[in-house]
Amino acid sequence: MKTVKVGIVGCGYFGNFHLNNLQKIDGVEVVALSSFNSAKLKTTGEKVPGAHLYSSHREMFEKEKQLDALFICVPPDSHDDVEILAAKKGIHIYVEKPIGLSMHKAEDIESAVNAAGIISCVGYQERYNDEVEKIKDYISNKKIGLVNARWITGMTGIPWWRMKERSGGQIVEQCTHLIDMLRYLIGDINLVYSLAGKGLMQNIPEYNIDDYTSTILKFKSGVIASVVTACYLENNTNFNGISFQIVCNDTVIEYDWDKELRYITEDSIKKVEFNGSSHLKAAETFIEAIRTGRPEIIKSPYSDAVKTLRATLATNESITSAMPIIF
């Protein structure tokens, strides 16, 4: 088995999360870590004593000559040249979502990835849940008119997440998962119309994202989805705030994120509990694609993630203009 040598850029929560998963995959060696935060770099480095530690990804690229793959786990506003430099060096990339805050930048990266012919994967891990493919097959011959989705949670303690210029807001940074999933199941989006509200969390310092939003998505197929978000909910463990519902002509499909799937018909309610880790499955698929030279097994390549980014950024544009955005 070919050993895949991996580097990680970003040693925050998700950098460590992916490191933990990579250490579970046979034939993977994490050889380099990069972070501008020296304390986080040191702490993460203690998990992989043999890895080389760098204060910048540019230094990593200069000194590491045998990197096969790179996991890029940086905040949304910090995608500068890391993907493009990796592509130029022929290094395959796994990029955490969202892939950025600028369509122009994302399209430049997409061009570099395509020109280099590298394998790319974006962290829309729920696409790798085996049940999602079953849903896709199930609805292929169904009539669908309406879809409902929600991402209703409390406020995160991450400082950059609370600033719209850094995170893009809740739709771009969190609810991107739901919008990406709906795109995967139903197809491309051609209209976005969003409204937003503020003022419920005035006691939060350094905070300027919307407290709640309501968005209408229209798909090229004619399906209409309503997507709501909120980040002001106080602790409520009895409420499942992340879910979507597909209303077919004879079935209602309810998907509780990371928990359970239900097919509701006139005669029965079929429940499917989720097992295993979609995050791990996504990482395993990325590594397998590199090892076997089969990019077609990637379900979330960079070029497809660009379409999801376009839809989520359009919500902010629509909120600002109070007008629908048509693609």
Q: pLDDT tens for residues 224-239?
A: 999 999 999 988 889 9
Fold classification of 127-275+310-326 is Dihydrodipicolinate Reductase; domain 2 (3.30.360)
CATH 3.30.1540.10 fits 4-125+279-301, yes or no: no
The per-residue pLDDT string of the chain (327 residues; one tens digit each, 9 = 90 and over) reads: 789 999 999 999 999 999 999 999 999 999 999 999 999 999 999 999 999 999 999 999 999 999 999 999 999 999 999 999 999 999 999 999 999 999 999 999 999 999 999 999 999 999 999 999 999 999 999 999 999 999 999 998 899 999 999 999 999 999 999 999 999 999 999 999 999 999 888 777 788 999 999 999 999 999 999 999 999 998 888 999 999 999 999 999 999 999 999 999 999 999 999 988 999 999 999 999 999 999 999 999 999 999 999 999 999 999 999 999 999
d(C-alpha 264, C-alpha 255), whole Å: 11
Contact 94, 29 (CB under 8 A): no
Phi, psi values for residue 121, rounded to 5° = -145, 135
d(C-alpha 145, C-alpha 223), whole Å: 5
The pLDDT of residue 199 is 85
Tokens of 97: 């979502």
How buried is residue 249: exposed, middle or buried, by Cβ count under 10 Å (0-12/13-18/19+)?
A: exposed
Phi, psi values for residue 12, rounded to 5° = -85, -155
Q: What is the pTM of this model?
A: 0.96
Tokens of 102: 């600028």
Residue spans of the domains in the chain: they are 4-125+279-301, 127-275+310-326
Phi, psi values for residue 174, rounded to 5° = -110, -60
Contact 56, 36 (CB under 8 A): yes
Q: Helix (H, G, I), strand (E, B), or coil: what is residue 60?
A: helix
Q: What is the CA radius of gyration of the chain?
A: 20
Tens-digit pLDDT profile for residues 100-157: 999 999 999 999 999 999 999 999 999 999 999 999 999 999 999 999 999 999 998 8
Q: What is the DSSP letter of 243?
A: E
Sign of the torsion angle spanned by Cα atoms 242, 246, 252, 258: negative
